[in-house]
Amino acid sequence: MFCFQCQETARNQGCTVKGVCGKPEETADLQDLLIYVCKGIAVYSEGLQDRAAARFVCTALFTTITNAAWDDDTIIGRIEEGIAIRDALRDRIGATVPGRLPDCATWTPHDREEIMAKALSDDVRITAASNEDVRSLRELLIIGCKGIAAYADHAAVLGHEKDDIYRFLMEALASTTKELSTDDMIALVMRAGETAVTTMALLDEANTTAFGNPEMTEVNIGVRGNPGILISGHDLKDMEELLQQTAGTGIDVYTHGEMLPANCYPAFKEYDHFVGNYGGSWWHQNSEFESFNGPILLTTNCLVPLKKDNTYLDRLFTTGVASYPGAVHITDRPAGGTKDFSVIVERARTCASPEAIESGTIVGGFAHNQVMALADKVIDAVKSGAIRRFVVMAGCDGRQKSRNYFTEVAEKLPADTVILTAGCAKYRYNKLALGDIGGIPRVLDAGQCNDSYSLAVIALKLKEAFGLDDINELPISYDIAWYEQKAVAVLLALLALGVKGIRLGPTLPAFLSPQVAKVLVEQFNIMPIATPDEDIAAMLG
């Protein structure tokens, strides 16, 4: 194996024996092969619009995101499905693809042994590119496409799709089978950022159309005495159907991790058994899933392996792209229907109520619509000097002690600064008593990682309100935490919007070659984080 797609990759170079995330070599290799098959689909899809094929590619790429799919049989099933889709496309278009076809477009296994043998071969890995910069740009593009695909998949579940997004994903994947110039590859990476903006806007539209605009909400972080179900991940459609199927059962529903923002949508507030949020970000789940006592539903990524002393495997359920050996998987909803969560409901009836791990409330719901409702107040606070600066601290959380940096920054920022956040990075500081500025909380939480789009909308609206020509003239600094591939898509989106001077940590991505990193530094002034004191001084200076 060779995997360097996430921030905690070994020695910030690459995992070669087993993922630091816990991913076994065989699982990593099968995921590489799934991407390889998607490239074959893309070769036949350029110039041909096939939504079914595009939807499969989105789901497949989403499956390969860090901490999503752990079950090898599930991944092999997707590989087999992908080959069937690829071959059907080939049969439709015949021999009209120009040039020599790459192996990913022609390789055909006869059994699972051949699938595993191919997965173990070096030619399916991105490291097959001998040129370091080519490898880096291809990886950056594929990783960005994984984030785009994840957000497009969420939007499609809610009935919102755009063919332009699908066309770009196919073009981008197919490009990695060709010998392109460095300039052409950089141009594709920048287009990935533009497509990420389009995709997050589409998902924002899908979510708000279905569930209303998030609104400022005090979210309970304590527990009640009823049995409970804990839902984690990102899929709001799953959230809705779980709430519908647990209504009137005497079972409470709690969110965990990236599902926290669901508490702020009007549609979900209608359910009196929707209690609040339990615990923190994804890497705490071994202890928090244990103490919750009831069943846990993982709807997307951010599922980590159980430890030897964990006992909750028989309470762990997966759905969508998530999978785990030994966990019951809830199958996809039929066309026009809903998922069946009855097995989870029945399991909850046999469980004790959650163990309390904290109490009180936290405030969320500051997506762009809510912040714009406070726009006059915010603008007046900036003009009067009550708010000196906004600091965007969106992104991911993770296990490394170096991420305490973001807690320290939040604690040390002066009282006339406001933190704008989205994603699970918020758990580093969203429970600190940081106060408010004239009634405006000093931490404005826009929601999930995909809701980083809201932060971009807020910045653009403030730029317009202050009559500025350049988004970088705003009193906003960017101090971003990253972990996985959706965060890379968000980063590329910010670059596409013209944002410069982004601090990125805890480390710069391992997949950036020195030359590619140099281009990003020179064109966008991307920089690694330093110490909290140094970075605060620079941001406020």
Distances (CA, A) of 287 to 43, 278, 291, 494, 516: 45, 12, 6, 35, 40
Which residues are CB-neighbours of 59 under 8 A, at least 6 positions away?
78, 149, 153, 321
Q: Which pLDDT belongs to residue 359?
A: 97
What share of the chain has pLDDT > 70, as a percent? 99
Q: What tokens were used for 344?
A: 């989870």
For 416-477, the DSSP string reads TEEEEE-SGGGGGTTTS---EETTEESEEE--SGGGHHHHHHHHHHHHHHTT-S-GGGSSEE
Strand pairing report for 440-441 and 443-445:
unpaired
Q: What tokens were used for 391?
A: 């600091």
Q: Which pLDDT belongs to residue 46?
A: 78
Closest CA to 490 of 400, 405, 428, 421: 421
For residue 339, which amino acid is it?
Answer: K
Q: Is 43 helix (H, G, I), strand (E, B) or coil?
A: helix
Class of residue 482 by CB neighbours under 10 A (exposed 0-12, middle 13-18, buried 19+): buried
Q: Which pLDDT belongs to residue 197?
A: 97
Q: What tokens were used for 57?
A: 């590619």
Say if CB 413 and CB 360 are below 8 A apart.
no
Domain 10-210 identical in fold to domain 366-540: no
pLDDT band at 478 (very low <50, low <70, confident <90, very high): very high
Closest CA to 281 of 452, 91, 422, 165: 422
HSE at residue 85, side-chain half, CA atoms within 13 A, is: 24
125 or 514, which is more confident: 514
Class of residue 65 by CB neighbours under 10 A (exposed 0-12, middle 13-18, buried 19+): buried
Q: Say how far apart CA 203 and CA 60 lie, in whole Å.
A: 18
Residue identified by tokens 């997949």 is 511
Strand pairing report for 527-528 and 443-445:
unpaired
Q: Which pLDDT belongs to residue 126?
A: 76
pLDDT band at 319 (very low <50, low <70, confident <90, very high): very high
The string of pLDDT tens digits covering residues 407-420 is 999 999 999 999 99
Mean pLDDT of the chain: 96
pLDDT above 70 for 343: yes
pLDDT band at 541 (very low <50, low <70, confident <90, very high): confident
pLDDT band at 392 (very low <50, low <70, confident <90, very high): very high
**Dihedral angle of Cα 253, 23, 40, 198, to the nearest 10 degrees:** 40
Q: Which pLDDT belongs to residue 49?
A: 79
Domain 10-210: assigned CATH number = 1.20.1270.20
The string of pLDDT tens digits covering residues 349-360 is 999 999 999 999
Q: What are phi and psi of 504, to 5 degrees?
A: -130, 130
Domain assignments of the chain as residue spans, ordered by start: 10-210, 217-349, 366-540
The string of pLDDT tens digits covering residues 8-48 is 999 999 999 999 999 999 999 999 999 999 999 999 997 67
pLDDT above 90 for 98: no
Sign of the dihedral defined by the CA atoms of residues 487, 528, 398, 24, in that order:
positive
Q: Say how far apart CA 28 and CA 476 lie, in whole Å.
A: 39
Residues 264-290 have a mean pLDDT of 98
Residues 118-127 have a mean pLDDT of 88
The string of pLDDT tens digits covering residues 169-223 is 999 999 999 999 999 999 999 999 999 999 999 999 999 999 999 999 999 999 9
Q: Say how far apart CA 257 and CA 271 lie, in whole Å.
A: 20
Domain 217-349: assigned CATH number = 3.40.50.2030
Say if CB 116 and CB 1 are below 8 A apart.
no
Residues 441-446 have a mean pLDDT of 97
Q: Which parts of 158-221 fold into alpha helices (H)?
A: 163-175, 182-211
pLDDT above 70 for 95: no
Q: Is 379 helix (H, G, I), strand (E, B) or coil?
A: helix
What share of the chain has pLDDT > 90, as a percent? 95
Say if CB 278 and CB 288 are below 8 A apart.
yes
Q: Tell me the CATH class for 366-540.
A: alpha beta
Closest CA to 189 of 144, 228, 132, 135: 144
Instruction: Estimate the crossing angle of helix 182-211 against helix 485-496, to 10 degrees.
Output: 100
Q: What are phi and psi of 440, to 5 degrees?
A: -95, 115
Q: Which pLDDT belongs to residue 12?
A: 94
Respond yes or no on whether the N-terminal peptide bond of residue 506 is cis (omega within 30° of 0): yes
E-only strand ranges, 265-384:
274-277, 296-298, 316-319, 328-330, 361-364
pLDDT band at 128 (very low <50, low <70, confident <90, very high): low
Q: Roughly how many angstroms between the first and final C-alpha of the chain, as a whole number?
A: 45
